[in-house]
Amino acid sequence: MADKVFCITSGKGGVGKSTITGNLATALAMKGYKVVAIDADIGLRNLDLILGLENRIVYDIVHVIEGVCPPEKALVKDKRTKNLFLLPAAQTKDKSAVKPEDLVKIVESLREKFDFIFIDSPAGIEEGFKTAVAPADAILVVTNPEMASIRDADRVTGLCEAMGKPEPRLIINRLDPAKVKNGDMLDVEDVVQILGLELIGVVPEDKNMVACINRGEPAVLVKESIAGKALRNIAERILGKEVPFMKLEANDGFLSKFKKLFGGS
C-alpha cells in the first residue's frame, strides 16, 4: 500500500516543521485529496495558526483520548477547501497526555476515511517525538542548511531506524542561494552528503512566508511565493510524480552546485 501517514519531524525546534506540515496538507487538499493534519505538539500548538483555524477549535486531541468526543467531532474543517481537516493539539496539557498507542489508535480510526494524514511532530527526541512517529508510514525530516540543525536531523534519522521505521526523506528548508554562494550557508550537495538521505524538496528563504503565517494563509496558495511553489512541488513528489528541482537564483546567477547535483533541473 502507498504511504498514507506522514510524520514531519526534525529534532531541532524552529526549522519550519509546522509550516511545512500545513502547506503540504493544503497543497494535497487543493488537488482534491481528503487530508487531515494532526498537531502532535501538545502544549505548544501552532498548526492551527498556520492554517488560520485558531478561532474554530472546540475539541482537541486530548479530548478524543479522554473519550469526550470521537476523532471526527474534534476535526476542524478548513475554511478554503472541503477536503482539509485539522485535529488540533491541546494547549493546556503536556506531551505526556498523549502516548504512542493513543495516537496510533486515532490514526487507525482515520486511516480509511482520508487519503493522507500528516502528523506535525514536536521538537526534541523524547516522548513527544516517539509518539508522533509511532503511526507513520513515512517520515519527512526537515533541516535548515546549518550544522546544528543537520546534526539533530541525523540523530532523528538514527532514532527512526532504531524504531523500525523506514528511512526518512529529506526536506531542506530556508535555503538562501546568496548566502550559499558567499560561503555563509551549506549548500544542498553538502547537506545531502552529510545526511545520506533521499532529497524530496528544497524550500528557499522567502520574504512572503512570515506574512503568510501571520495571515493564517499557507504559502502554497500564494502565487508569488517561491517557497509556496517549492512546497507544491514536494506535494507532487509525495504523489510519486517526477518534478524537477527548482533553479534557485542568487544575486548574480544560478548556483552551479544545484545544476551539478540535479542535472540542470
Distance CA 218, CA 212 (A): 6
Distance CA 232, CA 185 (A): 24
229 is in an annotated binding site: no
The dotted CATH code for 5-263 is 3.40.50.300
18 is in an annotated binding site: yes
19 is in an annotated binding site: yes
Distance CA 263, CA 143 (A): 23
Domain boundaries, the chain: 5-263
Distance CA 154, CA 70 (A): 37
181-239 pLDDT tens trace: 999 999 999 999 999 999 999 999 998 899 999 999 999 999 999 999 999 999 999 99
pLDDT category at 263 given cuts 50, 70, 90 is: very low
Distance CA 104, CA 93 (A): 19
For every residue of 45-108, DSSP letters joined together read --HHHHTT-GGG----HHHHHTTSS-HHHHPEEPSS-TTEEEEPPPSSS-GGGS-HHHHHHHHH
37-56 pLDDT tens trace: 999 998 888 999 999 999 99
Q: What's the one-letter identity of residue 127? A: E
13 is in an annotated binding site: yes
43 is in an annotated binding site: no
Distance CA 209, CA 227 (A): 7
pTM: 0.91
